[in-house]
Structure 1
Amino acid sequence: MRYEALNKEIINLIGGKDNIQGVAHCVTRLRLSLKDKTKADVEAIKNLDGVIDVVSNDVAFQIIIGTHVTDVYTEFMEMIGLGEDNETVSDEKLTLKKIPMAILSVISESMTSIVEVLIAAGMIAGFLSILSLTGLLSAESPTYQIMETLKTSVFTFLPVFLAASSARRLKVNPYVAMVLATAAMSNNINGAEGLSIFGYSLPTIEYANTFIPILLGVWLLSVVTKYLEKFIPKSVQMFFVPALSLMIVFPIMLIAFGPIGMWIGSGLNWLFDVLAQNVGYWIVVSLYAATQPFLIVLGAANFTFPIIVNFFTELGFDPIFTPAATISDIAVCGAIIGYLLKTKNKKEKDTFASIGFSALMGVTEPAVFGVFLKYRKPFIAVIVGGGIGGLIAGLAGVKGMTMAWGLAGLPAFLAGGTANFVWMIIACIVSFILAAAVAYGLGIPSEGQGEEKDESKDDRLVNSTFTSNQVFLSKVSSGKIVELSTVSDKAFASEALGKGYALIPDIDNQDILSPTTGEVTVVFPTKHAYGIKTKEGVEVLVHIGIDTVNLEGEGFESHVEVGDQISVGDKLATVDYQLLDSKGFDSTIMVIVTNTADFLDIVFLEDQLNDDIALTIFI
């Protein structure tokens, strides 16, 4: 099990197995329903290796893992002793205020569970469009027709997929739920005219073109099943409960839920038709393309799925969200590329390249949670780039022909015609270039935003805080900065005590200076180690030499006491390096952030633009 250690940590930090009520996952997120969210240590989970971020609010508790979340989810389910049939939504009491969010949550998670097949349909559509356009495969050929059927079957039998996924969310046998869907889609029911049941005339409904009746049907199925199980002896439940549940629920679905679904679908179509006739889809396309990263942060982006599916089933295309989502993804990629071109740090370049490619392919969570929340300014870049790109697509009437996002989904727009594809490409290029330009122009907060230096303090920084979300630690002495991993002491080299940097001092300069501004919290009796706490809560340990505690203070002179307020560049201590060398002690100085887990990231500046700065702490 590759992710056993990660899952053990997650289970422990969310309050243990007993605090779990339901588990699901989407493309990048592990979605949990917890009995008591207050038991979850959100900050500790965020700092786990393998976790990008955590979204915890009234809507959802989501742990962002990455595109390998399926593997993590599979092992997670094994470790907590649940199979897919045991997944469920929270059973907590719902207030009137929470009911709408609970409904949207069930719908969203039901859609999310089948997103892979929806994306697959989109990719197949894109491949077929390319093959047809290039003449490699005729649209009239049997091969094309077979592949086209593979694509269209996803939407033709969408109610069956939704029956299975919603059944798992609502803790009911998915195979019984699928019977409701297959019966509704049979030739005797689907689109049939003149039907009646118990003397009641049924309207003609295309159940293959609507998803609401089956979702309502599965919900009622879960209620009826639980009710019957209370009264029917367990020894005969297998014979009577499924049959009686179906015989009760199916007529109600045909009489009530079918018309309700038809009315809701027609209502949505009417609403968007009014919007199109009086304002135009363009404003919604533009707004969504500009703001999708904010919805991702809130964990609410998937709430558009029901509307998208309704568009496809009713109109045959999506005039808003599929184009807007792709344009927004491309804008996110553009913002990251802007930072890639801006930074001079090799580590950051590698990071930006990796998450930029992920965003280009339609998976933006690593970018949003790994970069956008850290630097904030990329949100502005996407608002500008995505908004204008969405405006172009909206005014041009670009249509999404199937559910697919990112670069790989662009060929699917060919199914809407050459003009549809060309305008989509133009919108994406504009969004990419503008977002990249804005991100590049705004710059990375950690670069070039330092405050004035105080020449009277050995030309060192007088304030370690450059921006609202970053703290910098400066060098404690003249000498060579090296990574902790090179230190001979394993406790420091392994970062067991926290992340930081090491310095091989210039023995001609015997003064040890404070790397930050804050309060002195620790002065070891042997005067070889000092603790400082900044106003941001960063706890810094300055440890002079290796095993120098054995000198019992010999060769060290302290200039501070516990409780002193100290600024960057103030003297902490003076060291007799000749004495340390004569007694065989390593004089390397370690500067450690002892509460490393409390912060988003701590970056060692190997390629220093400012020789004073050795470490960046992202709050």
Structure 2
Amino acid sequence: MEKFEKDAREMLEAIGGKENIAAVTHCATRMRFVLNDDSKADIKRLEAIPAVKGTFTNAGQFQAIIGNDVPIFYNDFTAISGIEGVSKEAAKSAAQKNQNWLQRVLSMLAEIFTPIIPAIIVGGLILGFRNILEGVQMEWLGQKVIDGVKQYTDSGQPIYNTIVDVSQFWSGVNSFLWLPGEAIFHYLPVGIVWSVTRKMGTSQILGIVLGICLVSPNQLLNAYSVASTSAADIAADWTWDFGYFAVQKIGYQAQVIPALLAGLSLAYLERFWRKHIPEVISMIFVPFLSLIPALILAHTVLGPIGWTIGKGISAVVLAGLTGPVKWLFGAIFGALYAPLVITGLHHMTNAIDTQLIADAGGTGLWPMIALSNIAQGSAVLAFYIMNRHDEREAQISLPAAISAYLGVTEPALFGINLKYVYPFVAGMIGSGLAGLFCTSFNITANAIGIGGLPGILSIQAKYMGFFAINMLIAIAVPFALTFMFRKIGFLTKAEDDAKKGDQSQVQAVVEAKKDAEAPAGTVVAIQSPLLGHAKNLSQAPDPVFAQGVMGQGLVIEPVEGELVAPVDGVVSAIFPTKHAIGLISQEGVELLMHIGMDTVNLDGKGFTAHVKQGDKVSVGDALISFDIEMIKAAGYSVDTPVIVTNQNDFQTDMTRQLPCDIKRGETIFTASKLS
């Protein structure tokens, strides 16, 4: 058996069967389905599967969190289901039928930025490291001296050296690291235009060329120098003069929206010309008629418009971060970032962060994002500590907490916090408070980096101390609130209901065993649960049953596929595959009825359960329906042992001469309580 074969079979049934799946694929941690009918997915049953750490729906896709083993799970699932997986792009395309226009726009934005996020993170780490080398003044390195004069601030405080001031080696490292740092951020438009063409399925090399044409260091005035260059100098030195009109040679270093608009124009032009130019000459004309018009549009219309839009967005956000009610902006953004992750709207912050870095030299959003990661991680860590003795919850919550502390919150959000609500709210409150203090002290990051605890590396040196205090707020507040909410029962209904359902079933079995204290000599009549032909247990096809290893009783070959209760009692166990069921009678007789031999291999196909563990039943109540013909066609015997498993407490005695035909409800043997 493959590693996840059983779990994959259970998932296929719980998700509504093969016919309910329009497309299936997977990403780094999740199975992604496009379902024909989302309502057919049994969420509770899915989340009870050992391999599944949580479920959610986003961007038109139903997603089940598996973890790092998702490629193995995916292979087992496709093998069992017989469904050929599709690419992530194809699944996303299929999912668009479940999305409105806003969701499609946000989905496109997310898919454009996702491929370049690794580079942005690396750039953030590089800038964070350079930030420490050249920005953090350390008293133990001595006071800074220039030309023999000790340096002081305007307020008279000594200025101390940085690492690069006293170490030529680290000064060289710092200078060297600017090579990839500049490539990532100054030339970001190249990556954006490339990603747009990749997403749109057009020529990626043309996207790279167009991106370079937006940031050419030799041909264009660097975007960072525009503000300090006079209009006269721009007109004289940085203009293409066509006689009838002139176009400014302005670069778009680190600009996001101009690059997005230019990339989209290139992609749509290429798609248009592909449809209208014969294939025999398309190689010549399609690239030329796509690139040159897109380049003209970029430098005459789209670039200036995009620059204006980008400046406007960053100005509005910057006003919120630095304005008179910045504390309120921080509180709201900090609290609402986690809900944004659920909707997918959080991908917009990548573009805004990048624009803020270009326009203002840093971003105040990223610190709050990192703090939100920490807050949700702290909430789920508290949940883990409270539920560490629950094996399943512990297996999900501890890795989710670690993941959130490292900046990836989906396992925490969808596996625990959203599922049980109160940890999610505790995390939102904690990140809201952290966001409030974040904006109150103008904490700014140099760049986007890794979220969570490592996010401190991206913070500008002068704000690192304040950010460390905010990290403590984001850790302590959600952690304490999660415990408090659980203790006072605030928003705990979802968890209580889930545990109540599980515990009530187990409790019913426990109480049934405790109450079943029949005196010695008590005789319990066991009635036939089936219509069919009764035989001695020794004639069971399986030697484990035939030799009485499991208990004493008989075997029935049914002629109708209806199994009913042979006693009054409680359902003590029902197998997930529904091929076997256990009962405890009111007198304490423990019965096992196993429909067929090796029918566990059918994985529940052909079986329908009418009861669940913990249910009370009376003689004649329907327990399980099964398809006799299907079982036989699959090559399995339908002989059904009916046995008393606690044979040390009860002695069985046949009341009929075997073999014989038997009807449902007829007494087939008795069980007598031993001393």
Q: Do they superpose with TM above 0.5?
A: yes
Q: What is the aligned counterpart of 2:109 among 95, 100, 107? A: 107
Q: Which residue of 1 aligns with 2:610?
A: none
Greater RCO (CA < 8 Å, at least 6 residues apart):
1
- Deviation of 1:159 after TM superposition, in Å, equals 1.3
Shift of the 83–127 alpha-carbon distance from structure 1 to 2, 3 Å rule, reads same
Q: Which residue of 1 aligns with 2:429?
A: 384
Please state if 1:354 is matched with 2:385: no
The amino acid that maps onto 1:165 is S
The amino acid that maps onto 1:102 is R
On the 8 A contact 1:318/1:402 being kept in 2, the answer is yes
On the 8 A contact 2:566/2:619 being kept in 1, the answer is no
What is the SS of the residue equivalent to 2:583?
strand
On the 8 A contact 1:220/1:249 being kept in 2, the answer is yes
Q: What is the aligned counterpart of 2:475 among 432, 447, 450? A: 432
Q: Which residue of 2 aligns with 1:569?
A: none
Q: Quick check: which has more Rg, 1 or 2?
A: 2
Q: Which residue of 1 aligns with 2:219?
A: 188
Q: Which residue of 1 aligns with 2:658?
A: none
The amino acid that maps onto 2:366 is T
- Deviation of 1:36 after TM superposition, in Å, equals 5.9
On the 8 A contact 1:180/1:214 being kept in 2, the answer is no
Q: Which residue of 1 aligns with 2:369?
A: 325
Q: Structure 1 unaligned runs (5+)?
A: 451-464, 482-502, 513-521, 533-539, 551-556, 565-574, 586-619
The amino acid that maps onto 1:61 is Q
- Describe how 1:140-159 pairs up with structure 2 within 5 A: 141-159=171-189
Please state if 1:315 is matched with 2:360: yes
Q: Structure 2 unaligned runs (5+)?
A: 139-162, 223-233, 525-561, 573-579, 585-589, 596-615, 624-643, 655-675
Shift of the 409–579 alpha-carbon distance from structure 1 to 2, 3 Å rule, reads closer
- Deviation of 1:325 after TM superposition, in Å, equals 1.1
The amino acid that maps onto 2:478 is A
For 2:360 and 2:73, locate their aligned partners in 1 and report how far apart those are by CA, in whole Å: 35
The amino acid that maps onto 2:105 is I
For 2:473 and 2:570, locate their aligned partners in 1 and report how far apart those are by CA, in whole Å: 53
- Describe how 1:490-569 pairs up with structure 2 within 5 A: 524-527=564-567, 543-544=583-584, 545=590, 547-548=592-593, 559=618, 562=621
- Deviation of 1:69 after TM superposition, in Å, equals 8.8
Q: What is the aligned counterpart of 1:443 among 486, 500, 504? A: 486
Q: Which residue of 2 aligns with 1:164?
A: 194
Q: What is the aligned counterpart of 2:448 among 403, 422, 428? A: 403
On the 8 A contact 1:285/1:390 being kept in 2, the answer is yes
Shift of the 88–361 alpha-carbon distance from structure 1 to 2, 3 Å rule, reads closer
Q: Which residue of 1 aligns with 2:297?
A: 252
Please state if 1:300 is matched with 2:332: no
- Deviation of 1:239 after TM superposition, in Å, equals 2.9
Q: Which residue of 2 aligns with 1:475?
A: 507
Q: Which residue of 1 aligns with 2:63?
A: 63
- Deviation of 1:421 after TM superposition, in Å, equals 0.3
Q: Which residue of 1 aligns with 2:379?
A: 335
Q: Which residue of 1 aligns with 2:546?
A: none
- Deviation of 1:394 after TM superposition, in Å, equals 1.2
Q: What is the aligned counterpart of 1:175 among 189, 201, 205? A: 205
On the 8 A contact 1:526/1:549 being kept in 2, the answer is no
- Deviation of 1:219 after TM superposition, in Å, equals 1.8
The amino acid that maps onto 1:342 is M
- Deviation of 1:262 after TM superposition, in Å, equals 0.9
On the 8 A contact 1:362/1:406 being kept in 2, the answer is yes
On the 8 A contact 2:566/2:620 being kept in 1, the answer is no
Q: Which residue of 2 aligns with 1:122?
A: 124
For 1:165 and 1:352, locate their aligned partners in 2 and report how far apart those are by CA, in whole Å: 35
What is the SS of the residue equivalent to 1:166?
helix
What is the SS of the residue equivalent to 1:114?
helix
Q: What is the aligned counterpart of 1:421 among 438, 454, 464? A: 464
**Cα deviations across residues 4-43 of structure 1 (Å, max 9, x unaligned)?**
979997899797899459x895x756777x5967698484
- Deviation of 1:425 after TM superposition, in Å, equals 0.6
- Deviation of 1:195 after TM superposition, in Å, equals 2.4
Shift of the 13–167 alpha-carbon distance from structure 1 to 2, 3 Å rule, reads farther
On the 8 A contact 2:221/2:250 being kept in 1, the answer is yes
- Deviation of 1:146 after TM superposition, in Å, equals 1.2
On the 8 A contact 2:198/2:204 being kept in 1, the answer is yes
The amino acid that maps onto 2:506 is S
- Describe how 1:558-597 pairs up with structure 2 within 5 A: 559=618, 562=621, 581-583=650-652
For 2:17 and 2:352, locate their aligned partners in 1 and report how far apart those are by CA, in whole Å: 33
What is the SS of the residue equivalent to 1:209?
coil
Shift of the 547–4 alpha-carbon distance from structure 1 to 2, 3 Å rule, reads closer
Q: Which residue of 1 aligns with 2:278?
A: 233
- Deviation of 1:409 after TM superposition, in Å, equals 2.1
- Deviation of 1:342 after TM superposition, in Å, equals 3.2
Shift of the 257–87 alpha-carbon distance from structure 1 to 2, 3 Å rule, reads farther
What is the SS of the residue equivalent to 1:582?
strand
On the 8 A contact 2:338/2:428 being kept in 1, the answer is no
On the 8 A contact 2:189/2:259 being kept in 1, the answer is yes
For 1:313 and 1:428, locate their aligned partners in 2 and report how far apart those are by CA, in whole Å: 26
What is the SS of the residue equivalent to 2:342?
helix
What is the SS of the residue equivalent to 1:356?
helix
On the 8 A contact 1:356/1:367 being kept in 2, the answer is yes
- Deviation of 1:275 after TM superposition, in Å, equals 3.2
TM-score (ref. length: structure 1):
0.68
On the 8 A contact 2:334/2:431 being kept in 1, the answer is yes
What is the SS of the residue equivalent to 2:239?
coil
The amino acid that maps onto 2:293 is I
What is the SS of the residue equivalent to 2:566?
coil
For 2:422 and 2:94, locate their aligned partners in 1 and report how far apart those are by CA, in whole Å: 36
Query: After the TM superposition, which of the residue ranges 299-308 and 192-201 deviates more from structure 2?
Result: 192-201
How many residues matched? 507
The amino acid that maps onto 1:259 is P
The amino acid that maps onto 2:208 is M
On the 8 A contact 1:52/1:66 being kept in 2, the answer is yes
Q: CA RMSD in A?
A: 4.9
The amino acid that maps onto 1:406 is G
The amino acid that maps onto 2:651 is S
Shift of the 480–233 alpha-carbon distance from structure 1 to 2, 3 Å rule, reads same
- Deviation of 1:426 after TM superposition, in Å, equals 0.2
- Deviation of 1:437 after TM superposition, in Å, equals 0.8
Shift of the 469–317 alpha-carbon distance from structure 1 to 2, 3 Å rule, reads farther
What is the SS of the residue equivalent to 1:208?
coil
